[in-house]
Structure 1
Amino acid sequence: MATAALARPQDRIEELGIKLISADNHINEPRNLFLDRFPAHLKDKAPRVIEGRDGGEGWSIDGTPPKRTYGLECMAGFDKSEYRMSGLRHADLRRGNYEGAAHLADMDIDGVWASVTYPGFSPSFYTHPDKEVAAAGFVAYNDWILDDFQSADPSRLCGLAINPTELGIDHAVAEMRRCARKGARAMYIPGNPTIPYNHPTHYHPVWQAADELGLTLCMHRNHGGPPDATDWDRLQEDKVSIGGIVTRYFSCLKPFSYLIFAGIFDLYPNLKMVGAEVDCGWAPFWVQTMEHHWDIQKSWFPVKLKHSPTEFIGRNVFTTNVDDYCGYQMIQTGLWPWLANMTMFSSDYPHSATIWPHSRDVALKMTADLTAQDTRTTLSENAARVFGFSI
């Protein structure tokens, strides 16, 4: 149906038969998740939620007060004038942060039919000093997100299990296969791995397993793994800043470029990788630059791609956006036909950047001037094929 034929813009999603999907929601783990699920001999080392110096509560890995208590990661339900970096207690969080059924109820308020849920505290196990504790933490989280949270309605929820790549590749592949048997459709990988993703051999068993199992691999900005030594947020106690928030929108440029020019997607053509919460307005210049330098540099470069870089965009490489009006205006021009195929809508519930409970309104505003097909593609169809939703 053509856009012009629609009588009322506010009904456009229904008129086009779109099931709105948020490809980047989040959880904040239940406060007793690890205490309840750790093996007996590790219970005293299990991370737990305790009171911080500011009277709020947050995660502690060693019994000392948390470096930062709950705040920006759980702002859904708060007015923007009430946003705070920290100082909240676990009881202040909406139940949709940690209960699948309540998360579905909050999606209904938001006009969102399905969501992909990213982890909260649990990627910190990538840098936990005790590898046995880290392994137990990943298993505990993965069992909870699949058996308890996603199971509330797997047709509408895709919970990301965490891929323990930093604990060794054999360990990671075994956990991929275990989680796939439990119903995982996608897994989180570190945005800042210790060993870069273009390593000539290290990650290939992971890429091969994901390709074979149909597991989409997802990075969330640069989260997961040790922060870069020059990162603004590494230099301050609370680990968050506006400068850091802004620059992380460009954090998947490096890993995606490395993966493409290492030939990973030629070797594993079914492999899908997502850079979450990075938007897409920067992508036309990035792809232009990749094509330009592939054209003039490929004679000496040792990796010989079977396809041009553009062909991997929207086939193997994807991003999620919250309210990227710039990117959607670029889609509207039709100058970069691959752009609509690479990006997926999201609400970022319950973080401070969230558009909950107004996701439907934002989706309508962003896509008001798009073609009917581009609207379907960006708001629903891309996420459905990347994360295995039936629409």
Structure 2
Amino acid sequence: MNAPVEVLDGSANSRVGIVDCDIHPYPKPGALNAYLSERWRNHLATYGKFNTGAYADRGTYPRFSPNTSRRDAWPPGGGLPGSDVGFIRDQLLDPYNIAYGVLEPLLGGNTSRNLDEAATLCGAINDWQAHEFVDPEPRLRASILVPADDPDASITEIEKRAGDWRFAQIQLGSKTSEPLGRRRYWPIFAAAQANNLSIGLHIGGTQSSAPSASGWPQFYIEDHHGLVHSMQNQAASLILEGVFDAFPGLRVVLIEGGFAWAPQLAWRLDSHWAKMRDEAPLKRKPSEYMKTNLWFATQPVEEPERPDDLRQVFEWIGWDRMVYSSDYPHWDFDDPHLAFKFQLTEDEKRMLYRDNALSVYTFE
């Protein structure tokens, strides 16, 4: 293994831990039952989860690789990758000197068509994260999963968890019933701002229609790349529909959707808005909101032929807008030793690996 990434404290020049903003936990068989009432255990056993996807109780089309995970991430004691806290500690937290790791559960609890079921599953998943991951390993921090199509239930869940040190953010998906800028979702943003919680916008979510504008793709690589476009759509919606004018303190982290597209999107939106600003009467140019209200997680980091081209992307976005993420235990995990092919200064390392995340997330 390579030497640990050296992130130095500016004053004492001592090595400190890094923050990983994208770790995926998975349950051991039956683990969620402990956090469900008898009524809902019976409901799920009888009816299953009423997914918004094209298929029930399976991955979307095309099929994912087994649990989308690295082959070496399966715990030696059994269970799914990401289900064994001790193995996460041994394989990720300790060897990579992770000070904090933000959990991003991808269990579909927020995607049920049955809104009562969605709210119940979100609550159970939140309890499960807190009790089975954060309590035994405080370096891990949970995300508040909410049923976005039910703002009232979402607010109830947010207020239940706000102030609990075990929760670092509110988690939403990039695929939603409508673009997130629509006012049906604004109560969630109001609750986030009021409780000083950031929004972690992770790729995925509801699948009520074909994943691309031109229909169903044939290959996994097409479907996988299409996730990037869902993130661009949400960034444009949040900006153009006035979310950040209404909630200027709102912090949104775009997770696992890439980031090299950000300059191009900003330039195009600025150009279009200059000609059509009467339709979207924002207080500032679209690009300015990208530099005050949006942060970008690095995984999957783009890999241009000339590594310094990526440095230019970082510099346009701003070194203070980037946070490191690994996507553990998935197959496209980004090792902090190897993800960036250009040399980083000590200031850039501190911002990327630690300081930016500490300013965005609620860890205390």
Normalising by the smaller structure, the TM-score range is 0.7 to 0.9
Measure, in 1, the Cα distance between the counterparts of 2:272 and 2:241.
14
Aligned-partner SS, 1:270: coil
Measure, in 2, the Cα distance between the counterparts of 1:196 and 1:65.
24
> Which deviations, in whole Å up to 9, do the C-alpha atoms of 1:105-150 show, x marking residues without a partner?
33213343321111132x2x33424433332211111111123312
Q: Per the alignment, do residues 240 and 272 of structure 1 end up closer, same or farther by CA in structure 2, a change over 3 Å counting? A: farther
The answer to whether structure 1 residue 138 and structure 2 residue 122 are counterparts is: yes
The answer to whether structure 1 residue 377 and structure 2 residue 361 are counterparts is: no
Measure, in 2, the Cα distance between the counterparts of 1:26 and 1:131.
24
Q: Per the alignment, do residues 14 and 218 of structure 1 end up closer, same or farther by CA in structure 2, a change over 3 Å counting? A: closer
The residue number in structure 1 matching 2:43 is 45
Aligned 8 A contact 2:104 2:143 in 1: yes
Q: Per the alignment, do residues 276 and 208 of structure 1 end up closer, same or farther by CA in structure 2, a change over 3 Å counting? A: same
Aligned-partner SS, 2:351: helix
- Residue 369 of structure 1 aligns with an amino acid whose one-letter code is Q
> Which deviations, in whole Å up to 9, do the C-alpha atoms of 1:312-367 show, x marking residues without a partner?
22431122122334497346348944332322221110111113xxx23215x43x
Aligned 8 A contact 1:331 1:370 in 2: no
> Which deviations, in whole Å up to 9, do the C-alpha atoms of 1:43-64 show, x marking residues without a partner?
222369xxxxxxxxxxx648x9
Aligned-partner SS, 2:175: coil
The residue number in structure 2 matching 1:108 is 94
Once the two structures are TM-superposed, the CA of residue 151 in structure 1 deviates from its matched residue by: 2.4
Matches within 5 A, 1:227-266: 227-229=208-210, 231=212, 241-266=220-245
Bigger helix share: 1
Measure, in 2, the Cα distance between the counterparts of 1:147 and 1:347.
23
Measure, in 2, the Cα distance between the counterparts of 1:290 and 1:70.
34
Matches within 5 A, 1:1-391: 13-15=6-8, 17=15, 19-46=17-44, 61=49, 66-67=57-58, 71-73=65-67, 75-78=69-72, 91=78, 93-94=80-81, 97-106=82-91, 107-121=93-107, 123=108, 125-154=109-138, 156-166=139-149, 168-183=150-165, 184-199=167-182, 201-221=183-203, 223-229=204-210, 231=212, 241-298=220-277, 300-301=278-279, 303-322=280-299, 323-326=301-304, 329-330=308-309, 332-333=311-312, 336-355=315-334, 359-363=335-339, 365-366=340-341, 368-389=342-363
Q: Per the alignment, do residues 280 and 227 of structure 1 end up closer, same or farther by CA in structure 2, a change over 3 Å counting? A: same
Aligned-partner SS, 2:258: coil
The residue number in structure 1 matching 2:12 is none
Measure, in 2, the Cα distance between the counterparts of 1:65 and 1:267.
38
Measure, in 1, the Cα distance between the counterparts of 2:141 and 2:354.
14
Measure, in 2, the Cα distance between the counterparts of 1:344 and 1:14.
14
Measure, in 1, the Cα distance between the counterparts of 2:76 and 2:16.
37
Between stretches 341-350 and 251-260, larger displacement belongs to 341-350
Aligned-partner SS, 2:22: strand
Measure, in 1, the Cα distance between the counterparts of 2:95 and 2:159.
35
Show structure 2 runs of 5+ residues with no match.
Answer: 10-14
Q: Which runs of 4+ in 1 moved over 6 A?
A: none
Show structure 1 runs of 5+ residues with no match.
Answer: 1-8, 49-59
Q: Per the alignment, do residues 33 and 92 of structure 1 end up closer, same or farther by CA in structure 2, a change over 3 Å counting? A: closer
Aligned 8 A contact 1:18 1:376 in 2: no
Aligned-partner SS, 1:190: strand
Q: Per the alignment, do residues 230 and 164 of structure 1 end up closer, same or farther by CA in structure 2, a change over 3 Å counting? A: closer
Measure, in 2, the Cα distance between the counterparts of 1:138 and 1:112.
26
Between stretches 254-263 and 130-139, larger displacement belongs to 130-139
Question: What is the aligned-residue identity percentage?
Answer: 19
Once the two structures are TM-superposed, the CA of residue 90 in structure 1 deviates from its matched residue by: 9.9
Measure, in 2, the Cα distance between the counterparts of 1:334 and 1:349.
24
Aligned 8 A contact 1:180 1:213 in 2: yes
CA RMSD of aligned residues (A): 3.5
Measure, in 1, the Cα distance between the counterparts of 2:213 and 2:24.
24
- Residue 67 of structure 1 aligns with an amino acid whose one-letter code is R
Measure, in 2, the Cα distance between the counterparts of 1:389 and 1:325.
31
TM-score (norm 1): 0.77
Measure, in 2, the Cα distance between the counterparts of 1:78 and 1:160.
25
Aligned 8 A contact 1:331 1:337 in 2: no
Measure, in 1, the Cα distance between the counterparts of 2:264 and 2:289.
15
Measure, in 2, the Cα distance between the counterparts of 1:328 and 1:179.
41
- Residue 91 of structure 1 aligns with an amino acid whose one-letter code is G
Equivalent pairs counted in the alignment come to 346
Aligned 8 A contact 1:35 1:47 in 2: no
Measure, in 2, the Cα distance between the counterparts of 1:233 and 1:352.
27
Between stretches 28-37 and 226-235, larger displacement belongs to 226-235
